[in-house]
Amino acid sequence: MIGCECAVCQSPDPKNRRYRPSLLITADTGENVIVDTPPELRLALIERQVRRLDAILYTHSHADHIYGLDDIRTFNYRTQNAMPIYAESSVLDDLQRAYQYIFTPTQEGGGKPQVRLNKLTPAGDEFSPFTLFGLSIRPLRVWHGALPILAFLFDSRFAYVTDVSLIPPETWPYLENLDLLMLDAVRRKPHETHFHLAESLRVIERLAPKRALLTHLSHDYDHESTNAELPARVELAYDGQVVSLS
């Protein structure tokens, strides 16, 4: 937190240093898919020595989830291909407004990302799955306050559910009995547009994943002491964490 002198913000523990959330998924064939492009994307990619990026999925278009998009142009230079982006039409519209220069002619020599937009459209209340690099990806509807956004289910085994305050009835069955669930738990007190800790733990108890990682975390949480109080299969995620699903 900017200007904060609390114990977490001043902590020397690197697991208490948190960028805005995103997720990098590496397929068995080596391709990388990223969920959201937060403002710290460039720093995170350099720190983790990510050398390729093959597609982007967007949950929604709030600033903390889109304002790192410009930095994907490095991957355009390397592959000489446009970056495929998958998102709902409202998010694609917001990207075209926020990054107008990407979609309009500019002077020769001006560096800018090259992207290819792919619209995710629901049929009724649900989205159809699609496949990228051997990964089956199903967008799922969740709510971020009054805003409908997306969660993503991968190979029916792992789900990434960030910025969520309500899971609608049609989505619950897809989230049950997963190998891994990553779930929003922004703070300890109730929040208007996010799950808080007690609510996230209730959701996890109902869904019964084999393992759950809490994400989109504020400075309410000291990493080590909070993990000590969580149920056995639940822990805080941390920046740079690597999880393997064999």
Q: Does residue 204 belong to any structural domain of this protein?
A: yes
**What's the CATH number where 101 sits?**
3.60.15.10
User: Rounded to whole angstroms, what are the CA distances from 70 to 1, 73, 84, 88?
Assistant: 24, 6, 14, 19
Q: Does residue 6 belong to any structural domain of this protein?
A: no
Instruction: Specify whether 130 is located in the same domain as 224.
Output: yes
Of 121, 151, 175, which residue sits at a domain end? Answer: 121
pTM across the whole model: 0.96
Report whether pLDDT(90) > 70: yes
- Residue 125's pLDDT is what? 82
- Residue 195's pLDDT is what? 98
Residues 162, 150: Cα–Cα separation, whole Å: 9
Residues 168-221: pLDDT tens digits?
Answer: 999 999 999 999 999 999 999 999 999 999 999 999 999 999 999 999 999 999
Residues 9-36: pLDDT tens digits?
Answer: 999 999 999 999 999 999 999 999 999 9
Say which residues have a Cβ less than 8 Å from residue 110's Cβ, sequence separation at least 6.
none
Of 101, 121, 141, which residue sits at a domain end? Answer: 121
Pairing of strands 180-184, 158-161: parallel
Instruction: Specify whether 151 is located in the same domain as 218.
Output: yes
Structure confidence at residue 106 as a pLDDT band (50, 70, 90): confident
Instruction: Specify whether 77 is located in the same domain as 129.
Output: no
Instruction: Specify whether 35 is located in the same domain as 48.
Output: yes
- Residue 110's pLDDT is what? 65
Of 84, 104, 121, which residue sits at a domain end? Answer: 121
Task: Compute the C-alpha angle 174/175/179, nearest 5°.
Answer: 115
Q: Does residue 113 belong to any structural domain of this protein?
A: yes
Report whether pLDDT(246) > 80: no
Instruction: Specify whether 131 is located in the same domain as 82.
Output: no
Which H, E and C letters describe 191-210, residue by residue? CCCCCCHHHHHHHHHHHCCC
- Residue 124's pLDDT is what? 83
Q: Does residue 32 belong to any structural domain of this protein?
A: yes
- Residue 107's pLDDT is what? 72
In the chain, the number of structural domains is 2
Instruction: Specify whether 222 is located in the same domain as 138.
Output: yes
Pairing of strands 32-35, 55-57: parallel
Tokens (6 digits) for 128: 């159809």
pLDDT, mean of residues 46-69: 97
Instruction: Specify whether 130 is located in the same domain as 216.
Output: yes
Structure confidence at residue 111 as a pLDDT band (50, 70, 90): confident
Residues 117, 119: Cα–Cα separation, whole Å: 7
- Residue 109's pLDDT is what? 65
pLDDT, mean of residues 43-72: 97
pLDDT-above-90 percentage for the chain: 95
* DSSP string across 113-170: --EEEEE---BTTB---EEETTEEEEEEEEEETTEEEEEEEETTTEEEE-S-SB--TT
- Helix, strand or coil, per DSSP, at residue 233: coil
Q: What residues make up the domain containing 99? A: 19-121
Q: Which residue has the higher pLDDT, 246 or 111?
A: 111
> How far does CA 59 lie from the centroid of its chain?
7
Residues 54-64: pLDDT tens digits?
Answer: 999 999 999 99
The DSSP secondary-structure symbol of 66 reads H
Say which residues have a Cβ less than 8 Å from residue 155's Cβ, sequence separation at least 6.
135, 136, 245
| Contact present, 69 and 34 (Cβ < 8 Å) | no
